[in-house]
């Protein structure tokens, strides 16, 4: 009963914190981390020990899966070079530099475990990146690169962590063994992800019930994780590969009702898990601080060195990588040179999150032959990187983006593209209607023609600017008032006993669906 109370309490705080953040115009991850930091020292407040397995197999998979489902595969493929440079190259670069810096500051600690710490703090967090990047209105390409990086970099870091930890505890190490482990982890993850696409795609295609489709989508990431862990493959890679492929094929795998319901379901899961994750990160402060047994001067010195290294390595990698990529002729032909602000924002958006803390807690307790090392200090360093990156980089990222005046996505070009495709879709719809016109009354056919024309016209109206209300907007405003009037009559009829509750529920459902379409069309 006590555990249930704590879960409900944490979810309530996460929900209230997110609502308060929206009210104040703040980023909810930042506010929730601060709330957790404060609450961790409140007498009597429940203390939570974050288990690594809970994060890596219970919280991370669904968040990675929904992020992959929402990622555009064409955009991901188009930006594959910068994504891999960040997700693989930058993670290795950061892990090595952080490991060397810690080894220089603390030469008595073996280099292998220092490199393990580097792997822990190297990857920006998928939850932090997606939670912040989209909400501050960064350009579409920057968001794609940051989200693509966050989907892949955890796999790189966890493989490095496994190899470095194995060397630190005296297990078989060496280039050959590390290379074999990388191949097994990455290759096995890709294979399991593709197997998941075949199996779950096959089942989704044959399911007609939206509830069953949603249940299957919830089972998918956890099934892939369990299978990947059994064969020592990368569960992160498996979930990301399956999520990208299934998300790309979703329009042909699921019915419209299933897609609508699954979108609402995963939005709720994502909202609750994201809020819970950032709150739990903040709540770890008391346990991390009280466990420190390293002299405070050493703690301050090594903490400053690690933070500075983590922040600067991203700049030291991103700017040269951006310039060197332009030397490839194919890269120059495909895209124009990005403005200066793009690599700067990407460099600044290096927020760490719960995966870093979970990886730190998974560090070995002792080294080879049972030798001790300052493990509590290493956990503190990981925690310090998380909090500093969220409170410094995450909190200032909106202001940095505004000061750089990044070129935003062109809404006119988006509207033109949408209008052109909608015109083609309208022609296809009219052609199909002409083929079937004889099987329906003429009034029905004419009504369907008007529906297609009105939808096409509403897309073209977006090019007219926001100075005056468009016909479609006027239609939505007036229809909204009409729906409210209809609801009032239905409620009165139910209360007076003229219709049963079931009739009211069905009528409300139809009106709710229509209202949701009106709100979506008006951009609310």
- pLDDT at residue 311 in the model: 95
- Give dist(CA 262, CA 270) in Å, integer: 12
Q: How high is the pLDDT of residue 372? A: 85
- Could you tell me the pTM of the whole model? 0.84
Q: Measure the CA–CA gap between 474 and 522, rounded to whole angstroms.
A: 10
* pLDDT above 60 for 241: yes
The stretch 274-279 carries a mean pLDDT of: 89
Helices 235-253 and 175-206, axial angle in degrees (round to 10): 20
DSSP letter for each residue of 105-142 = H-TTS-HHHHHHHHHHHSSPPHHHHHHHHGGGT--HHH
From CA 276, how far away is CA 258, in angstroms rounded? 27
Mean pLDDT of 449-460: 77
With bands split at pLDDT 50, 70 and 90, how would you rate the model's confidence at 126? Answer: low
pLDDT, mean of residues 325-332? 62
* pLDDT score of 461: 65
2-407 under CATH 1.20.1530.20, yes or no: yes
What is the per-residue pLDDT across 155-200, written as a single tens digit (0 to 9) for each? 889 888 988 888 888 765 556 666 677 778 888 999 999 999 999 9
Higher pLDDT, 290 or 482: 482
In the numeric block, the tokens 């079931």 are attached to 502
Structure tokens of 309? 């290294």
**The token pair that represents 14 in the structure block:** 């996460």
Question: What percentage of residues in the chain have a pLDDT greater than 90?
Answer: 32
Residue 45's nearest CA partner among 272, 286, 292, 281 is 286
Query: What letter does residue 85 receive in the DSSP assignment?
Result: I
pLDDT > 70? residue 124: yes
Spatial CA neighbour of 375 closest among 173, 120, 178? 120
Q: Are 122 and 389 in contact (CB under 8 A)?
A: no
Query: Stretch 307-312: mean pLDDT, rounded?
Result: 96
Among 86-95, 128-137, 503-512, which stretch is predicted with the lowest mean pLDDT? 128-137
Residue 248 has pLDDT above 80, yes or no: yes
Q: Compare 335 and 74 and report the one with higher pLDDT.
A: 74
**pLDDT at res. 178:** 65
* Contact in structure between 71 and 152 (CB atoms under 8 Å): no
Find tokens 């956890």 and name the residue. 222
The pLDDT, as a whole number, for residue 524 is 44
Residue-range domain boundaries for the chain: 2-407, 410-468, 475-524
User: Which range, 158-172, 377-391, 437-451, is most confident?
Assistant: 377-391
What number is the average pLDDT over the span 65-80?
A: 90
């Amino acid at each position: 009963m006590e555990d249930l109370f704590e879960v409900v309490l944490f979810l309530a705080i996460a929900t209230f914190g997110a609502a308060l953040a929206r009210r104040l115009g703040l980023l909810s991850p930042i506010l929730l981390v601060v709330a957790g930091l404060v609450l961790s020292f409140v007498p009597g407040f429940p203390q939570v020990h974050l288990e690594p397995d809970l994060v890596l197999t219970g919280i991370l998979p669904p968040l990675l899966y929904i992020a992959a489902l929402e990622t555009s595969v064409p955009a991901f493929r188009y930006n594959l070079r910068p994504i891999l440079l960040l997700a693989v190259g930058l993670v290795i670069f950061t892990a090595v530099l952080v490991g060397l810096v810690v080894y220089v500051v603390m030469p008595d600690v073996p280099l292998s475990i220092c490199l393990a710490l580097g792997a822990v703090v190297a990857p920006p967090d998928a939850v932090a990146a997606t939670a912040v990047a989209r909400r501050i209105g960064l350009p579409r390409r920057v968001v794609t690169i940051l989200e693509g990086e966050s989907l892949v970099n955890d796999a790189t870091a966890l493989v490095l962590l496994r190899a470095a930890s194995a060397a630190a505890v005296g297990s078989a190490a060496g280039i050959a063994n590390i290379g074999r482990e990388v191949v097994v982890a990455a290759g096995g993850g890709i294979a399991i992800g593709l197997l998941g696409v075949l199996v779950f795609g096959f089942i989704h295609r044959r399911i007609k019930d939206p509830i069953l489709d949603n249940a299957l989508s919830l089972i998918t990431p956890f099934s892939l994780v369990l299978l990947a862990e059994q064969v020592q493959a990368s569960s992160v890679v498996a979930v990301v590969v399956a999520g990208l492929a299934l998300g790309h094929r979703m329009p042909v795998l699921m019915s419209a009702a299933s897609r609508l319901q699954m979108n609402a379901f995963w939005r709720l899961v994502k909202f609750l898990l994201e809020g819970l994750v950032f709150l739990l990160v903040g709540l770890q402060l008391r346990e991390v601080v009280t466990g420190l047994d390293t002299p405070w001067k050493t703690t301050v010195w090594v903490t400053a060195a690690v933070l500075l290294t983590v922040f600067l390595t991203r700049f030291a990698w991103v700017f040269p990588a951006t310039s060197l990529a332009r030397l490839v002729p194919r890269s120059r032909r495909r895209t124009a040179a990005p403005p200066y602000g793009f690599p700067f924002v990407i460099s600044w958006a290096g927020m760490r999150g719960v995966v870093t803390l979970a990886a730190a807690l998974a560090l070995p307790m002792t080294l080879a032959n049972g030798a001790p090392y300052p493990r509590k200090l290493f956990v503190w360093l990981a925690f310090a990187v998380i909090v500093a990156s969220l409170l410094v980089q995450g909190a200032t990222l909106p202001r940095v983006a505004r000061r750089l005046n990044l070129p935003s996505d062109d809404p006119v070009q988006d509207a033109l593209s949408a209008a052109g495709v909608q015109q083609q879709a309208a022609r296809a719809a009219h052609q199909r209607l002409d083929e079937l016109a004889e099987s329906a009354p003429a009034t029905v056919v004419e009504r369907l023609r008007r529906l297609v024309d009105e939808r096409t016209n509403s897309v073209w109206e977006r090019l007219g600017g926001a100075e005056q209300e468009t016909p479609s907007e006027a239609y939505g405003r007036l229809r909204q008032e009409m729906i409210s009037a209809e609801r009032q009559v239905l409620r009165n009829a139910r209360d007076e006993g003229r219709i049963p509750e079931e009739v009211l529920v069905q009528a409300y459902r139809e009106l709710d669906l229509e209202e949701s379409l009106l709100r979506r069309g008006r951009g609310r």
